[in-house]
């Protein structure tokens, strides 16, 4: 069975899409034996950091609901480069509530055997059917928080909801991390009743606006530390999936993000 990794945030500004896209990019650049699907299952497109054409769920909702989806055609249109395939979330604001948890489950079931790894950007809205469907399908859930008090409070609040849904968070990503902040990793682990080993910091990178403007991840236009931190997350993903975390080989013309 194809491993399914889900990234979800406690807030819309937690950086979920950036992390999911960056981890997917890192894996296909460093593990060219893996075929990876990056799938956005939430109420927005989730295509902020790519300038390539990406099919969105709006385009396939009707054939998917009627069990006539052309899988080969969808996979072909989602190809972004060697090893990476991407399907965006919901483009139309008016259509967001037309998608349910069953929609997510059906799409995953159709596509999962075609890939070595499925990375899902599940957004942050627990009242969205796609998000709930993604979380329920996950083998491992990586939840993204920051050092902000409001984010920590929100995680505490939604942890109970995760429990009711039978969802276990395997790893906490502390995004936009600042080592000088009084809320360090040990404090956050204690505050959120989490195993300190399960916390992965991704340091603050102030090139976020540049990334949005240029439609590329911070792997491409950010600081070296961001690349190191994303590599740590990506290697954790690979290890959880039972894949060697070290690069298999580097393709001709390979260029390190860092």
pLDDT of residue 254: 38
The string of pLDDT tens digits covering residues 66-89 is 999 999 999 999 999 889 999 999
Task: Measure CA 188 to chain center.
Answer: 22
Give the length of the chain: 258
Q: Which domains does the chain have, with CATH numbers?
A: 4-240 (3.40.50.300)
> What's the CA gap between 169 and 162, in Å, rounded?
8
pLDDT value at 250 more than 70: no
pLDDT value at 127 more than 80: yes
Helix (H) or strand (E) holding 172, with range, is strand 169-177
The string of pLDDT tens digits covering residues 31-67 is 989 999 999 999 999 999 999 999 999 999 999 999 9
Give the residue from 244, 217, 233 showing the smallest Cα distance to 142.
233
Helix (H) or strand (E) holding 35, with range, is none
The string of pLDDT tens digits covering residues 152-191 is 999 999 999 999 999 999 999 999 999 999 999 999 999 9
Query: Is 0.85 surpassed by the pTM of this model?
Result: yes
């Amino acid at each position: 069975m194809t491993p399914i990794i889900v990234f979800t945030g406690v807030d819309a500004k937690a950086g979920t899409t950036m992390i999911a896209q960056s981890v997917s990019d890192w894996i296909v650049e460093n593990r060219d034996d893996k075929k990876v699907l990056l799938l956005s299952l939430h109420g927005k497109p989730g295509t902020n950091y790519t300038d390539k054409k990406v099919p969105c769920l709006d385009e396939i909702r009707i054939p998917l609901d009627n069990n006539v989806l052309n899988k080969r055609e969808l996979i072909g249109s989602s190809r972004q480069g060697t090893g990476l395939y991407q399907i965006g979330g919901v483009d139309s604001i008016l259509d967001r509530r037309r998608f349910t948890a069953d929609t997510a489950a059906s799409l995953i079931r159709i596509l999962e055997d075609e890939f070595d790894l499925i990375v899902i950007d599940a957004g942050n809205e627990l009242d969205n059917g796609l998000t709930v469907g993604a979380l329920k399908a996950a083998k491992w859930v990586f939840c993204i928080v920051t050092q902000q008090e409001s984010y920590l409070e929100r995680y505490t609040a939604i942890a109970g909801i995760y429990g009711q849904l039978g969802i276990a968070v395997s790893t906490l990503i502390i995004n936009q991390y600042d080592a000088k902040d009084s809320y360090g990793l040990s404090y956050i682990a204690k505050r959120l009743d989490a195993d300190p080993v399960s916390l992965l910091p991704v340091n603050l990178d102030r090139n976020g606006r540049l990334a949005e403007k240029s439609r590329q991840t911070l792997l491409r236009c950010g600081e070296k530390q961001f690349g190191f931190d994303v590599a740590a997350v990506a290697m954790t993903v690979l290890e959880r999936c039972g894949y060697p975390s070290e690069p298999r080989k580097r393709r001709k013309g390979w260029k390190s993000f860092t």
